[in-house]
Amino acid sequence: MSLENVIARFDVDDPGFIADPYPVLNELREATPIFRNERTGQWTLTRFADAYECLRDRRLGRSYSHLYTHAQLRRAEPDARWAAFQQHERWSLLCLEPPDHTRIRRLVSKVFTPRAVTAMRPTVQGFADELLDHCRDLGTFELLGDYAQPFSVAVICSMLGVPRTDTKLLLDWSHAIVKMYELSTTDAIREGANSAAAEYIDYTKSLISKKRAQPDDLLVSALVAVEDEGDVLTEDEIVSTTMVLLEAGHEATVNTLGNGMRAILSHEGEWQRVTGGEVAPRVAVEEMLRWDSPLQLFERWALEDGVVIAGQPIEVGDEIAMLFGSAQRDPRRFDNPDLFDIARGDTAHIGFGGGIHFCVGAPLARQEIEVSVAGLAERFPTLALAETPTYHPNFVIRGLTALRLESQK
Ligand code: HEM
């Protein structure tokens, strides 16, 4: 097959591709390390080593607005119709580069220390126990809706100091907002994301004023206190930071649990390796992250001249897309990469990124997934798929619509 034909099969609107993108991603990766996606105008990377390098390359950035105007890089001005969406991510860590990124990241990192995450463990365990006991009472249960979503939202809300009673609101907003990050969107989806962002901003502002009046020792109050003491964080910065933590803090965790448990239960004998004690849940987490990436694509802008990736010269203002799902199955990096091996335990994958944007929540996410797998193994030693699950019709954020599970008699 010609290279053009292989590239044409990278079609995020093709249900067959979404159902199982890996055969196409494997072909693409073996055909070329880099190709131009004519639909998005992005240079697209397929191999682990190139993605790994790009994540660390300081000549590339997640945004360019600290250095260039849109016109200078021949890019369209942001669409004024989606102003609330733009406002919500304006000060998000994911949209900043140094020096603003360094300043805000330092403050957030203080709260996400390994010690703080370890201290969260009893709380995380408590949420898992409560929800998994309920799943056991249900008999057949839906892992995402009955467990993973309420679990991960409860965890991040309790770290931030957001009332648990508001989690349904936050879930709905977050689901609508993250659709904006797909390669293929419609105005209806953008409108939904924008109005969700507007409501989310109002909610967060009112939360901040409540914390100002009645501080606690949780993250939102900590961010407010920093602002009050040293005029370091503005209200807009606190709003964006709180929102990115809520969003980033649960979508990927939910999808790692869904995609990962589906993978385990579709490979005979793998669950028994966990329930029988051969493979610790902590080890299982890494293969769950690698084999079916919950986040398939991340982007960077070229900020300087002279960048060459996989032999391809890249111009200032060009956009680069890293295909994580492809990189995580690269045989140059992983032995027998299509094999789902729950004991693989390779922690040096790129599932949490790398470089200055490395996932702030990685220790928390690992802990959440470990506690969940352990809780499932303890209660459901004979767990099995109750039906064949299907994926949401999205590419970038890869997750199941539902995952119905039951214990085998
Ligand atoms: C399994 C779950 C998770 C996965 C797979 C994941 C993955 C990632 C990846 C790949 C990045 C880097 C993006 C890039 O370089 O462009 C990232 C960044 C980030 N993640 Fe996570 N994440 C997860 C859970 C979490 C959690 C639980 C939180 C917060 C509580 C979180 C907060 C963040 C934040 C704030 C950033 C931006 C950091 C920065 O730009 O400096 N993530 N995540």
* Residue of 359, 364, 373 with the most ligand 1 atoms within 8 Å of its CB, for mutation: 359
DSSP state of 69: -
**Residue 36 — φ and ψ, nearest 5°?**
-90, 120
pLDDT at 227 over 70: no
Contact 302, 328 (CB under 8 A): no
The domain locations on the chain are: 3-71+79-407
127 vs 237, residue with greater confidence? 127
Q: Among 1.10.10.10, 3.30.470.20, 1.10.3720.10, 1.10.630.10, name the CATH number for the domain at 3-71+79-407.
A: 1.10.630.10
CA of 263 relative to ligand 1 center, distance in Å: 22
Ligand 1 proximity of 350 Cβ (cutoff 6 Å): no
Maximum C-alpha span of the chain: 65
Ligand 1 proximity of 366 Cβ (cutoff 6 Å): no
b/e map 369-401, b = 16+ CB within 10 Å: bbbbbbbbbeebeebeebeebebbebbbbbbbe
Both ends of the chain: CA-CA distance in Å? 47
- Predicted local distance difference test score (pLDDT) of residue 121: 96
Ligand 1 proximity of 361 Cβ (cutoff 6 Å): yes
Alpha carbons 221 and 97: distance in angstroms, whole number: 25
User: Considering Cα of 280, then 283, then 285, then 287, what sign does the dihedral take?
Assistant: negative
Name the pLDDT band for 184 (thresholds 50, 70, 90). Answer: confident
Ligand 1 proximity of 61 Cβ (cutoff 6 Å): no
Q: Which long-range contacts (CB under 8 A, 24 or more apart) does 70-76 make?
A: 72/317, 73/301, 73/316, 73/317, 74/317, 75/317
Average pLDDT over residues 199-223: 91
- Cα 78–chain centre separation: 24
Ligand 1 proximity of 359 Cβ (cutoff 6 Å): yes
Alpha carbons 18 and 360: distance in angstroms, whole number: 28
Residues whose CB falls within 8 Å of the CB of residue 375, separated by 6 or more in sequence, listed in order: 125, 128, 129, 132
Q: Considering only CA atoms, which residue is closest to atom 21 of ligand 1?
A: 359
- Taking phi first (over 0 means left), then psi (-120 to 50 degrees means alpha), and beta for anything else, what does residue 345 get? left
Ligand 1 proximity of 62 Cβ (cutoff 6 Å): yes
- Predicted local distance difference test score (pLDDT) of residue 247: 82
Ligand 1 proximity of 203 Cβ (cutoff 6 Å): no
CA of 84 relative to ligand 1 center, distance in Å: 22
H helical segments located in 214-321: 219-230, 235-248, 251-266, 270-275, 281-291
Ligand 1 proximity of 294 Cβ (cutoff 6 Å): yes
Alpha carbons 323 and 197: distance in angstroms, whole number: 27
Q: What is the pLDDT of residues 45-62, one digit of tens each?
A: 999 999 999 999 999 999
CA of 391 relative to ligand 1 center, distance in Å: 21
Ligand 1 proximity of 132 Cβ (cutoff 6 Å): no
Q: What is the pLDDT of residues 310-342, one digit of tens each?
A: 999 999 999 999 999 999 999 999 999 999 999
pLDDT at 230 over 60: no
Which atom of ligand 1 is nearest the CA belonging to 358?
12
Q: What is the pLDDT of residues 133-178, one digit of tens each?
A: 999 999 999 999 999 999 999 999 998 899 888 888 888 898 888 8
Q: What is the pLDDT of residues 256-309, one digit of tens each?
A: 999 999 999 999 999 999 999 999 999 999 999 999 999 999 999 999 999 999
Q: Which residue in the block uniquely carries the two structure tokens 């789902």?
A: 340
| DSSP run (H or E) holding 385 | strand 383-385
Average pLDDT over residues 186-210: 93
